[in-house]
């Protein structure tokens, strides 16, 4: 069984926990949500019998090391300033880490150690700037190269998935 530790039970968690928990049995995953507020974490997982929650403070070294050491994969939904603490602990215990934040210089500095340890430190690669930028560049390249066009201006609007409890639009998506 693979253990997935999700750090943070904020507004982005509902979509992720739904995905993980509904696939946990078939994929042989154990899903654990860790948050500063145990009550908040429990509320987010209450409809999933195969997810657990715990009180967790990333700044508490002993607890951070215990939870990360027991995981196979760590997903940090914490504020960006805490990703480095999670990443360093993941490197220490050779655990993979995913975050939804941009790659910082501090994270880049851990790249060689991560490769040496066989650890994946995967930062933002989703919609913004990931998919949004890739599809925009594909369109711009096509205009330039295949059609001989020139780009004078480009504006990109993007967004993300909405937490189900605040979702009130037909696209189930928030444009920013």
CATH of the domain at 75: 3.40.50.720
Q: pLDDT tens digits for 52-62? A: 999 999 999 99
Asked which of 106, 122, 138 is the last residue of a domain, the reply is 122
Q: Which residue has the tokens 């805490």?
A: 82
Q: Which pLDDT value is given to residue 38?
A: 97
Give yes or no: residues 8 and 51 share one domain. Answer: yes
Asked which of 122, 143, 166 is the last residue of a domain, the reply is 122
Q: pLDDT tens digits for 85-135? A: 999 999 999 999 999 888 889 999 999 999 999 999 998 755 555 566 667
Give yes or no: residues 24 and 45 share one domain. Answer: yes
Render the burial of 104-127: b for 16+ CB within 10 Å, e for the rest. Answer: beebeebeeebeebebebebeeeb
Give yes or no: residues 82 and 144 share one domain. Answer: no
Q: Is the pTM of this model over 0.95?
A: no
Asked which of 122, 141, 160 is the last residue of a domain, the reply is 122
Catalytic residue among 72, 128, 132, 152: 128
Structural domain count, the chain = 2
| Mean pLDDT score of the chain | 87
Q: 131: domain range?
A: 127-175
Give yes or no: residues 136 and 115 share one domain. Answer: no
Asked if residues 110 and 122 have their Cβ atoms less than 8 Å apart, the reply is no
Q: Which pLDDT value is given to residue 162?
A: 67
Give yes or no: residues 171 and 140 share one domain. Answer: yes
Give yes or no: residues 24 and 67 share one domain. Answer: yes
Known catalytic membership, residue 128: yes
Cα 106 to Cα 18: distance, rounded to the nearest angstrom: 31
Give yes or no: residues 41 and 10 share one domain. Answer: yes
Taking residue 42's Cβ as centre, other Cβ atoms within 10 Å add up to 17
Give yes or no: residues 37 and 104 share one domain. Answer: yes
- Using only the alpha carbons of the chain, give its radius of gyration: 19
Give yes or no: residues 6 and 87 share one domain. Answer: yes
Residue 28 to residues 12, 21, 23, Cα–Cα distance (Å) = 23, 10, 8
CA-nearest of 69, 159, 86, 162 to 122 is: 86
- For 104, list phi and psi in degrees, rounded to 5: -90, 165
């Amino acid at each position: 069984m693979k253990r997935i530790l999700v750090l943070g039970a904020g507004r982005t968690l509902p979509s992720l926990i739904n995905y993980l928990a509904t696939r946990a049995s078939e994929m042989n995953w154990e899903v654990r949500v860790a948050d500063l507020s145990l009550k908040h974490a429990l509320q987010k997982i209450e409809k999933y019998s195969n997810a657990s929650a715990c009180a967790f403070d990333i700044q508490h070294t002993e607890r951070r090391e215990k939870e990360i050491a027991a995981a196979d994969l760590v997903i940090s939904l914490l504020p960006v300033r805490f990703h480095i603490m999670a990443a360093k602990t993941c490197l220490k215990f050779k655990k993979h880490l995913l975050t939804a934040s941009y790659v910082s210089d501090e994270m880049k500095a851990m790249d060689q150690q991560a490769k040496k340890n066989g650890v994946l430190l995967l930062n933002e690669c989703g919609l913004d700037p990931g998919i949004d930028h890739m599809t925009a560049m594909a369109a711009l390249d096509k205009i330039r190269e295949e059609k001989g066009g020139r780009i004078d201006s480009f504006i990109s609007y993007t967004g993300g998935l909405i937490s189900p409890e605040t979702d009130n639009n037909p696209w189930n998506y928030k444009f920013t």
